[in-house]
Structure 1
Amino acid sequence: MFDLVFNTLFFASYSNAFGLANISLSPSDILLAYIVAIVVSIVVALVLRIPLLPSKPIRYSFDVSAIYPTPIIAMGIFSIFLVLDYTFMYNGMVLAVAVGIISALFVKYLFDFVFPKPLNGDEGEDI
């Protein structure tokens, strides 16, 4: 994961691969935008009443929480935008806030439909 973040930082900081960008972002701007996306996603998840931590036992829990997978999804979506060299306004800060909000809404309302929970070992399938 850190290799992806490292490559994204330096790929997006040099300029667009297609030569279409006239503004390049510094690695500190990109890192700040990642931090904004993570913080916004956690705060919006807590406002939407997603629990901070999953239920006990945490190791075998498939419950969503504000700590996992909300910021991970925000980082992934934001990385896709950076690799495509779409940063919108204010060096990607507006996009980071939008991605943080959208990722929290996705985890709250659509995550269980896209990634269903596995069946328990003692439960069988409906026949």
Structure 2
Amino acid sequence: MFDLMGSTIFFASYGNVFGLSNVAISSFDILAAYVVAVIVSVIVALLLRLPLLPGKPYRYSFDVSAVYPTPIIAVGVLSIFIVLNYTFMYNGLLLAVVIGILSALFVKYLFDFVFPKPLSEDNGEDIDE
């Protein structure tokens, strides 16, 4: 009868919590913001000396790298802001740069604390190669 979740998202994006919502943002601006977030997050991750690719074997590696999960986190956080219609300045490009920097810093310094590596099956300790 009532679509509470849909109504909540609609009103949060329509009025915005801080009243700073944009009138309209085009799909090109959204795509440009995603590309900027991915590029900035990878560049900052490489500057922070994260490896470009995780350790081998790639499929079972729990190592963080500049390619995964850094841009994935940046795109996810940027998506939350875009859905809430909070794009800040320059149609979301400045927000994309800030989120790209913060996601690289998060992956470098906090990712292992928030998402610890799984325990090995043999001796119950963390998996380290």
TM range (shorter): 0.7 to 0.9
2-side partners of 1:124 and 1:39: how far apart? 38
The size of the alignment, in residue pairs, is 111
Q: 2:47 — aligned with what?
A: 47
- SS of the residue aligned with 1:119? coil
* 1:1-127 superposed matches below 5 A: 16-18=13-15, 21-124=21-124
Q: 1:51 to 1:98 in 2, by over 3 A?
A: same
Larger radius of gyration: 2
- SS of the residue aligned with 1:17? helix
Structure 1 vs Structure 2 CA RMSD: 1.7
Q: Give the gaps of 5 or more residues in structure 2.
A: 1-12
Encode CA deviations 1:95-119: one digit per residue, 9 max, x unaligned. Answer: 0000000000000000000000001
- SS of the residue aligned with 2:117? coil
The Cα shift of 1:23 comes to 2.6
Q: 1:4 — aligned with what?
A: none
Contact 2:22–2:86 (Cα < 8 Å) also in 1: no
- TM superposition score normalised by structure 2: 0.81
Q: 1:92 to 1:22 in 2, by over 3 A?
A: closer
Q: Give the gaps of 5 or more residues in structure 1.
A: 1-15
Encode CA deviations 1:32-89: one digit per residue, 9 max, x unaligned. Answer: 0000000000000000000000001111100001000000000010001111111010
Contact 2:22–2:85 (Cα < 8 Å) also in 1: no
- SS of the residue aligned with 2:67? coil
Amino acid at match of 1:69: P
1-side partners of 2:26 and 2:91: how far apart? 9
1-side partners of 2:123 and 2:36: how far apart? 42
Percent identical: 68
Q: 1:51 to 1:109 in 2, by over 3 A?
A: same
Amino acid at match of 1:25: I
- TM superposition score normalised by structure 1: 0.82
Encode CA deviations 1:3-26: one digit per residue, 9 max, x unaligned. Answer: xxxxxxxxxxxxx43386453110
